[in-house]
């Protein structure tokens, strides 16, 4: 299918419509002539990130500018109510290959786990393919397990680079006070994993037999294993719920941040790759031959 652009695109739109129907939403592009929709989108993203002001995440004027210049601004509607949104703009990698950078995506507070986010990303996939671009990129917090599993398994993306302190200091209610380390996610829209994911088959990772590099102690703390393990497969744990940990024990959350950075940053820069993440929160790292 990946070698037949017309068939791939038709299939992508069919999968996007099906995902929307399962979630009970209609995902639609927000056009230039709908100022109230841009305001609604900005306010929704403010609520998702618990920001003090809409402009901290994406001001209405910025969203309208993105839409006006041919970039991606879309909303998921349940009836007349906006329950999710995604925003992206076009960029190029270091070799000049174009991609859509998915700047921000969010689902209304209390609405996670109902398929709205998946429907938004499948719409984004079809929309991007319809513009002859086959790659979407974004960054995500490697410590947030639900996002890691969604990105790598539910969507079939690949985490390719560790970016320490990517955004600098952040002031929104979710990230304030934390270090803004991120993983760069590359979503190849025509890859077999992405096609399978669009049809509901999540990518799986087999961590059996891999050597532990960073583990969780009984009390939930990060425990580093001396880096003397043999073989080409390593496991890096993350907290089961870092968002709760940040609220109740910021020092422990920071310790996890630094431990995961120490385990992943240098290795990814040296040719290791993230082969996936397990549901219980272990990244599998493998060494490129």
- Asked whether residue 130 falls in the same domain as residue 255, the answer is no
Domain that holds residue 255: 211-287
Q: Please report, for the domain that includes residue 80, its CATH number.
A: 3.40.630.30
Distance, CA of 197 to CA of 58 (rounded, Å)? 29
In a domain, 206, yes or no: no
Q: Are residues 110 and 242 in the same domain?
A: no
Closest C-alpha among 210, 105, 197, 217 to residue 155: 197
> Residues 138, 234: one domain?
no
The total domain count for the chain is: 2
Give the range among 8-12, 50-54, 63-67, 226-230 with minimum mean pLDDT.
226-230
Q: Are residues 126 and 101 in the same domain?
A: yes
Residues 221 and 134 in one domain: no
pLDDT at 227: 64
Same domain, 176 and 230: no
CB atoms within 10 A of CB 221: 14
- pLDDT band, residue 225 (cuts 50/70/90): confident
| 186 in any annotated domain | yes
Answer yes or no: is 203 within a domain. no
Q: By 3-state DSSP, what share of the chain in percent is helix, strand and coil, each rounded to 5?
A: 35, 25, 35
Question: How would you classify the pairing of strands 282-287 and 233-237?
Answer: antiparallel
Residue 284's pLDDT is what? 97
Domain boundary among 165, 198, 231: 198
Shared-domain flag, residues 101 and 232: no
The pTM for the full model equals: 0.93
pLDDT tens digits for range 119-157: 999 999 999 999 999 999 999 999 999 999 999 999 999
Report if residue 233 sits inside a domain: yes
CA distance 72 to 94: 22
* Residue 274 confidence class, pLDDT cut points 50, 70, 90: very high
Which are the contacts of 83, defined by CB distance < 8 A and separation ≥ 6?
A: 25, 44, 76, 77, 107, 108, 111, 116
DSSP H helices in the chain? 5-23, 35-48, 60-68, 116-129, 145-149, 192-198, 242-248, 250-269
pLDDT band at 174 (very low <50, low <70, confident <90, very high): low
Residue holding tokens 């006070």?
A: 177
Does some domain include residue 204? no
Residue 129 lies in a domain: yes
Q: Which of 198, 221, 241 is the last residue of a domain?
A: 198
Q: Is the pLDDT of residue 288 over 80?
A: no
**4-56, pLDDT tens digit by residue?**
689 999 999 999 999 999 999 999 999 866 678 999 999 999 999 888 888 88
Is the predicted pLDDT of residue 173 greater than 60, yes or no? no
Q: Do the strands 98-107 and 81-92 form a parallel or antiparallel pair, or are they unpaired?
A: antiparallel
Residue 82 and residue 136 in one domain: yes
Buried b (16+ CB within 10 A) or exposed e, 67-78: beeebbbbbbbb
Is the pLDDT score of 248 beyond 80?
yes
For residue 222, give Cα distances in angstroms to 207, 242, 257.
19, 12, 9
């Amino acid at each position: 299918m990946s070698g037949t652009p017309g068939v791939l695109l038709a299939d992508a739109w069919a999968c996007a419509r099906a995902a929307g129907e399962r979630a009970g939403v209609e995902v639609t592009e927000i056009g230039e002539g709908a100022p109230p929709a841009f305001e609604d989108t900005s306010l929704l993203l403010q609520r998702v990130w618990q920001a003090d002001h809409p402009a901290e995440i994406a001001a209405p004027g910025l969203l309208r500018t993105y839409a006006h210049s041919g970039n991606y601004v879309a909303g998921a509607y349940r009836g007349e109510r906006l329950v999710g949104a995604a925003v992206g703009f076009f960029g190029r990698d270091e070799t000049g290959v174009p991609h859509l950078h998915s700047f921000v995506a969010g689902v209304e507070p209390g609405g996670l786990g109902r398929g709205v986010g998946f429907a938004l990303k499948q719409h984004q996939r079809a929309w991007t393919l319809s513009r002859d671009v086959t790659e979407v990129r974004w960054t995500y917090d490697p410590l947030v397990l639900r996002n890691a599993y969604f990105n790598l398994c539910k969507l079939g993306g690949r985490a390719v680079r560790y970016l320490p302190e990517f955004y600098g200091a952040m002031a929104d209610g979710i990230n304030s006070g934390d270090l803004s380390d991120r993983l760069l996610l590359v979503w190849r829209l025509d890859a077999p994993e992405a096609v399978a994911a669009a049809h509901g088959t999540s990518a799986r990772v087999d961590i059996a037999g891999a050597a532990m590099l960073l583990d969780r102690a009984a009390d939930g703390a990060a425990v580093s294993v001396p880096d003397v393990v043999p073989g080409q497969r390593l496991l890096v744990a993350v907290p089961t719920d870092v968002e709760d940990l940040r609220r109740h024990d910021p020092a422990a959350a920071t310790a996890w941040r630094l431990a995961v950075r120490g385990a992943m940053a240098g290795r990814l820069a040296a040719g290791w790759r993230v082969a996936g993440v397990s549901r219980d929160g272990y990244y599998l790292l493998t060494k490129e031959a």
